[in-house]
Amino acid sequence: MRNKALPAPTEVLIFDCQESESLPGKLVSNPGLSTDSVAKEVYSDTSLLVDFFRKCFGRNSIDDAGMGIVSSVHYSRSYVNAFWTGAQMVYGDGDGLIFKNMTSADDFIGHELQHGVTQHTAALIYEGEPGALNESMSDVFGSMFRQWKRSWDIGAADWIIGSELMGPTAIQMGWVCLRNLLDPSANSSLTKQPKHYKDYVQGGGPHDNSGIPNHAFYRACSAVGGYSWETVGLVWYAAIRSRHIKPNMKFKDFAALTCHEAKRIFPKNPSIATAVKEAWAAVGLR
């Protein structure tokens, strides 16, 4: 019997916008050996993300079909954001004050790539509760990637997003990260968020309320222990791939779906399903 052929390596391409807003920009040759530290950094972390999804979740690139991954760096001038266009990632250089280069944090690169994975799985619409779930998926998988890269278990993980992005002015103002999964309402986060459903911001944007499911994920991981990607992370991944997930899914329905998946994936370890259920209850979603 012939062995099933291994999938071809995912192509990781880096482009340089050279401070323009024209995408994708100029192709960077041999980005892994580039003298441009930003291009080299994005290439390295994106390549590691390919390994992370393959080794931890059996996923073959963003679309699970081996699609090439395109990232553009040096987008516009002093651009203080990064985004997924629906086809590629784009990174600005930051303003040097509130934000350093937007490629400085590996969990943030993971955050942006996960938007692509979410597009090709759950396809959560970007408004209301499904929009907040969309943002939460990116924080959750970005955080897991950071943990996996460093072999951090639950106790060693820092549970914050984008700490390396914070520039000198941000640090001076007491902001040490973009968001905090352990304590979404911490004053040290640039984006303070509610961590309980009773405090949900009505009419708020996706970033305003993503702390609620973020905190549920943290609490479930904390209760289970070990490595997040081996237990609770598998549950979250199964949920976004489930045939039961809907683009307009609300928090309560997603919580129920993760509880279902925890029981399905770990039938001999009911403590994981219990941890997931209790984590959602702790943020007001029973």
Give residue-wise pLDDT tens across range 90-116: 999 999 999 999 999 999 999 999 999
Q: Among the options 19, 120, 196, 207, which is catalytic?
A: 207
Residue count (the chain): 286
Give the pLDDT mean for 34-59.
98
Q: How many Cβ atoms from other residues are within 10 Å of residue 189's Cβ?
A: 21
CATH of domain 128-282: 1.10.390.10
Q: Among the options 112, 129, 135, 261, which is catalytic?
A: 112
pLDDT of residue 4: 47
User: Rounded to an integer, what distance in angstroms lies between the CA atom of residue 136 and that of residue 207?
Assistant: 8
Contacts by 186-190 with C-beta closer than 8 Å and gap 24+?
Answer: 189/160, 190/98, 190/162, 190/166
CA quadruple 249, 116, 8, 142: dihedral, nearest 10: -90
User: Rounded to an integer, what distance in angstroms lies between the CA atom of residue 266 and that of residue 131?
Assistant: 28
In the chain, beta strands by DSSP E: 12-16, 26-27, 69-75, 82-84, 89-92, 160-161, 179-180
Query: Residues 185, 212: contact at Cβ < 8 Å?
Result: no
Query: Residues 69, 87: contact at Cβ < 8 Å?
Result: no
Half-sphere exposure of residue 75: CA atoms within 13 angstroms, side-chain side: 23
Residues 116-137 have pLDDT tens digits of 999 999 999 999 999 999 999 9
Q: Is the pLDDT of residue 9 over 90?
A: no
User: Would you list the domain boundaries of the chain?
Assistant: 12-104, 128-282
- State how far Cα 153 lies from the chain centre: 17
- CATH architecture of the region 12-104: Roll (3.10)
Query: Residues 69, 12: contact at Cβ < 8 Å?
Result: yes
CA distances from 285 to 53, 84, 251 (A): 29, 30, 8
Query: What residues are paired with 179 via a beta bridge?
Result: 161
Residue the block writes with tokens 């993503």: 210
Q: 3-class DSSP state for residue 189?
A: strand
Half-sphere exposure of residue 159: CA atoms within 13 angstroms, side-chain side: 23
Q: Is 112 a catalytic residue?
A: yes
Q: Is the pLDDT of residue 7 over 70?
A: no
Q: Is 207 a catalytic residue?
A: yes
User: Rounded to an integer, what distance in angstroms lies between the CA atom of residue 234 and that of residue 275?
Assistant: 14
Element (DSSP H or E) covering residue 61: none
Q: Copy the structure tokens of residue 91.
A: 């990174």
Is the bond into 24 cis (omega within 30 degrees of 0)? Answer: yes
Q: 3-class DSSP state for residue 243?
A: coil
Percentage of residues of the chain with pLDDT beyond 90? 96
Q: Is residue 151 very low, low, confident or very high in pLDDT (cuts 50, 70, 90)?
A: very high
Q: Copy the structure tokens of residue 101.
A: 């280069």
Q: Copy the structure tokens of residue 272.
A: 């994981």
Residue the block writes with tokens 């980005």: 31
pLDDT of residue 8: 66
